[in-house]
Structure 1
């Protein structure tokens, strides 16, 4: 393995704290931009050490960073405390910079990083939960149906940890040891949560325990984390499959047992209150989670009203199409429910149907990729494929998710589709899903970050990422994706309505104290979705407060800024130019996006 072991070990031994540098002297010697860039670079390397999976996901766990391929995030109480300290140090260091002395590009990078770390630092001020540093998955619960190492690590090892050499295989084994440590670390944090009265709702715990039972089931030698390595090392001496099976049996299985036992202890004390209002500092926690999810300070009541208003507008458009299709009786939700049960729009609920869904999604991706020159001056490859989620993940997972692959293109971006049943995927809904998760959505947007400083590929903002993905759905419609597919347009509008419903339901659960049953029934009846589909959605909002609100808030902000640009530039407005400035600027808080657009408008007026 080729890397500077002494340098890496020194960083690890120091807890990855940033070195105390004489900032003023450094700035005088190299200039403000260089000093700020050097600081961001040091923060980036520190973050990669704290979150080694990020380096692997980007395909940069090589060279001097090769040691990271043998490690996982430290999920123990001490590990989380150390990460929290690092985040607070990042904020202090970035705050010491004179932003007025920086170039616009460097200042933008500093503002973005500082905003991400300030949000995370505020989350770490709560003595419980799981804080995402520069990500989207904040949760008050350490382990639940969609949070935890038992979900993340096996899929990560199978799909992102490449095994081409003996060193790669050895690193995989090291990560299996670390997987057991991660489970044990989480269990310790669960014990702390229990003493604080931070107990997840009983219905979420039931789901999590069922999923853990699937993960624990059977002979460890047959688990995916073992067979995946065994299959990929057939031609590499060392019998790595047998070594993996030993670690799984002797370390991982007991760690899973301990975690299951602790969650059963939680289950015995749990109630069915769905919202975080039931937790210590619950209202304050939701205010933070909503801010983290939207990068705004909108209060819950405003978000709730926004959802109801946008839902009414969208359903008025859906009503016209439904009537054209002969669906004239009942509410829009009732008619969409009837449409969704029509056998001619459904797939067989078996492996053949699952294969048909994957094929249709892939075809939609490939068709849309060819349209991208009509929407952007600056293009990226759009390297994307469709994969089914692992069966043990599906019961607690969202319907789908996606993201870019490695920076070198060796691992494609993925649309992960939940196929526990095909009944939740009517044919007319699938093209829009493909556009949201891949092109011009998450995969497409993610590839632009590869052209930015590395820290900008690491840090993401929920409202921007998900707002862009909804805007990508809109772009697909504007590029003619539904010119010959009116039901596909209906699926697109229902998707937007679905996200408007999320504003109502998320705030309803956490601020208005809705029960789980009320949230499910309101959602299913209003949007015309199946109870099965929205049950999983509602459970997701219970576990990830505020995250679901980022979609429509971000989408609405992008459209508001597009309208501002049109009004400001008039005939000089450039559709492709606007899209370029939004996507090439990378993930940013909504306030920074607004500033970027204002600078773009000013530049166009100056140069025009």
Structure 2
């Protein structure tokens, strides 16, 4: 999956709509068009895209850093984190509404075909976010009703952000790090106030989400400041650059006096509501909860599918993929028990399980790198454009691995200063039998998220805004399509168990459709969702539990994968039927990926135009 920062990148469009010459120069350096076409509507529209992108970057220091644009005229951003206050959110909401009104005032018919693609993507996003604003909790920009959870909140995101994205090259970078560390405490308190407002509006997380969140908070504050990644990171990196100063001691003082107490204040706020928290995980129990789930589905799947349609699609696809897996298992002599039971037995086979040691985890990551390199060598036969940015493979930080997803991708910096990164959660190697790992690599790295997102960012002559806009169904659908492509081009020719892993991955995403809609629409319990997935897939219950808990806090996101995948595959098959011998796989991939991140409706229209009847 994409990391939450990538999912939230589009949400940063809610910033103000001001402009500046320095920002325009920076945007053009990142690849925005230097001059607009002659048409007045085009001139007006591209200027508006530029204006939105500039203020999105200017108003969000963390986004600047994530894009590698916190140098030169924007260097002051390195000393601050994003403003997490309700006042900032309210101001952004007003300016967002103003900006969307400006977009809708433009005559779309007067735009070029490419500009109409930009327009439709922005309009869909704007309309959907404005639906989210109607709810009294969650902020509107991202469909999660809880400001702080096991997956959301600065306590969960900032330690890794500081370690992996804040650059330290000189003493002022280290000073900026410490300034941000202090700002971290202010953001935690601002979130606490918003979290308590959510509680008052009726959005108290379920008990198991509170418990998981408190466990992760305790893992941070229970660690001696000297051992924290937040002090260790600045100490290690200043030493590597021979920057004099006792940076570790300064960081530890800030952790002790400011950050740890602020995290503990958040924890106390959660503990206060824990006795009255329900065990029901679906948002149906919240005020306007059924409407909130429909909002989440629309936002993440970029479709008009109803909860019942999502549920039925999942049941049908689970049955189909399960039958395919059954045949492969039988071919390996595994004939007894359900598909889930046989996959569970395969997952426990000592041949396929790495020891749960740091040495074995290092070996596992080396194997992932070998798989990625081997797949990369095949890609020139299937893509006309290849990413310039490399991709690193890393472990999810130990402090947050308990509640983090199994794997996720972090986009590269726009200036090339930081490569893309694929993170794998290695809290327990038993959750990753060897036959599951190639498919994860193809989804997260090559030719999956890394290809799609790096190519989007490297697309020439594209407005900066369109380099960073993303939609989950497009991106996660591509990730699953990448898994299928790897199978089709022969990645598993001599690896029948790896092919079983690929089918389990597809079935896993189909089961998500069932459980996501089951939790939020059919009022399933957490345990019912876990039991369905364990029985269907044969996965470790510990892994499935964190999955189901994730669906509870991001309603609709889990459905985006298979809805998007189904659309990508249908469009390719339709193109093959229309074009016959003229079908070009490179052309299909390049046309689809050159769009960047778009809603599925825009993808469908573009690909159908590429293959006229």
Q: Could you tell me which of 313, 319, 324 is aligned with 2:331?
A: 324
* Paired position in structure 2 for 1:73: 82
The two structures, once aligned, show a CA RMSD in angstroms of 1.9
The alignment status of 1:181 with 2:181, answered yes or no, reads no
The alignment status of 1:544 with 2:554, answered yes or no, reads yes
Alignment of 1:53-92 (within 5 A): 53-92=62-101
Secondary structure, counterpart of 2:522 in structure 1: coil
Q: How far did 1:29 drift?
A: 8.4
Partners in 1 of 2:259 and 2:135 — Cα distance? 29
Secondary structure, counterpart of 1:314 in structure 2: helix
Between stretches 286-295 and 401-410, larger displacement belongs to 401-410
* Paired position in structure 2 for 1:16: 16
Q: How far did 1:589 drift?
A: 0.2
Q: Is the 8 A contact 2:131 2:140 kept in 1?
A: no
TM-score w.r.t. the length of structure 1 is 0.92
Q: Could you tell me which of 188, 195, 200 is aligned with 2:200?
A: 195
Q: Is the 8 A contact 1:404 1:444 kept in 2?
A: no
Q: Could you tell me which of 351, 356, 359 is aligned with 1:349?
A: 356
* Paired position in structure 2 for 1:585: 595
Alignment of 1:569-608 (within 5 A): 569-602=579-612
Q: Is the 8 A contact 1:126 1:285 kept in 2?
A: yes
Q: How far did 1:30 drift?
A: 6.8
Partners in 2 of 1:70 and 1:449 — Cα distance? 29
Partners in 2 of 1:437 and 1:566 — Cα distance? 26
Q: What per-residue deviation string (whole Å, max 9, x for no partner) do you get for residues 404-434 of structure 1? A: 3112333121111111100010000000000
* Paired position in structure 2 for 1:291: 298
Between stretches 367-376 and 162-171, larger displacement belongs to 162-171
Q: Is the 8 A contact 2:19 2:55 kept in 1?
A: no
Partners in 2 of 1:53 and 1:479 — Cα distance? 39
The alignment status of 1:247 with 2:254, answered yes or no, reads yes
Partners in 1 of 2:128 and 2:393 — Cα distance? 32
Q: Is the 8 A contact 1:365 1:438 kept in 2?
A: yes
Q: Is the 8 A contact 1:382 1:439 kept in 2?
A: no
The alignment status of 1:113 with 2:122, answered yes or no, reads yes
Q: Is the 8 A contact 2:470 2:597 kept in 1?
A: yes
Partners in 2 of 1:27 and 1:97 — Cα distance? 15
Q: Is the 8 A contact 2:225 2:256 kept in 1?
A: yes
Partners in 2 of 1:386 and 1:28 — Cα distance? 41
Between stretches 250-259 and 83-92, larger displacement belongs to 83-92
Q: What per-residue deviation string (whole Å, max 9, x for no partner) do you get for residues 389-410 of structure 1? A: 1112111111111133112333
Secondary structure, counterpart of 1:316 in structure 2: helix
The alignment status of 1:531 with 2:541, answered yes or no, reads yes
Q: Could you tell me which of 270, 274, 277 is aligned with 2:284?
A: 277
The alignment status of 1:568 with 2:568, answered yes or no, reads no
The alignment status of 1:369 with 2:379, answered yes or no, reads no
Q: Is the 8 A contact 1:99 1:107 kept in 2?
A: yes
Partners in 2 of 1:174 and 1:87 — Cα distance? 29
Partners in 1 of 2:482 and 2:228 — Cα distance? 38
Q: How far did 1:585 drift?
A: 1.1
Q: What per-residue deviation string (whole Å, max 9, x for no partner) do you get for residues 526-567 of structure 1? A: 111121111111011011110000000000001111111112
Partners in 2 of 1:251 and 1:390 — Cα distance? 22
Secondary structure, counterpart of 2:49 in structure 1: helix
Partners in 2 of 1:57 and 1:348 — Cα distance? 34
Secondary structure, counterpart of 2:402 in structure 1: helix
Between stretches 194-203 and 121-130, larger displacement belongs to 121-130
* Paired position in structure 2 for 1:489: 499
Q: Is the 8 A contact 1:90 1:114 kept in 2?
A: no
Q: What per-residue deviation string (whole Å, max 9, x for no partner) do you get for residues 220-273 of structure 1? A: 243211221122223224433333222222221221111111010121220101
Q: Could you tell me which of 221, 233, 240 is aligned with 2:238?
A: 233
Alignment of 1:91-106 (within 5 A): 91-106=100-115
Q: How far did 1:49 drift?
A: 2.8
Q: Could you tell me which of 523, 526, 531 is aligned with 1:513?
A: 523
Q: Is the 8 A contact 1:382 1:444 kept in 2?
A: no
Runs of 4+ in 1 over 4 A off after TM superposition: 26-30
* Paired position in structure 1 for 2:12: none
* Paired position in structure 2 for 1:400: 407
Distance 1:416 1:195, change over 3 A: same
Q: Is the 8 A contact 1:56 1:69 kept in 2?
A: yes
Q: Is the 8 A contact 2:61 2:82 kept in 1?
A: yes
Distance 1:29 1:576, change over 3 A: closer
Structure 1 unaligned residues grouped into runs of 5+: 1-14, 21-25
Secondary structure, counterpart of 1:256 in structure 2: helix
Partners in 1 of 2:210 and 2:18 — Cα distance? 39
Structure 2 unaligned residues grouped into runs of 5+: 1-14, 21-34
* Paired position in structure 2 for 1:262: 269
Q: Could you tell me which of 117, 128, 134 is aligned with 1:125?
A: 134
Secondary structure, counterpart of 1:396 in structure 2: coil
Q: How far did 1:479 drift?
A: 1.6
Task: Give the aligned length.
Answer: 580
Secondary structure, counterpart of 1:46 in structure 2: helix
Q: Is the 8 A contact 2:389 2:412 kept in 1?
A: no
* Paired position in structure 1 for 2:167: 162
* Paired position in structure 2 for 1:4: none
Partners in 2 of 1:406 and 1:81 — Cα distance? 29
Between stretches 191-200 and 363-372, larger displacement belongs to 191-200
Distance 1:382 1:326, change over 3 A: farther
Q: How far did 1:217 drift?
A: 1.4
TM-score w.r.t. the length of structure 2 is 0.92
* Paired position in structure 2 for 1:31: 40
Higher relative contact order structure (alpha carbons within 8 Å, sequence separation ≥ 6): 2
* Paired position in structure 2 for 1:12: none
Q: Is the 8 A contact 2:408 2:423 kept in 1?
A: yes
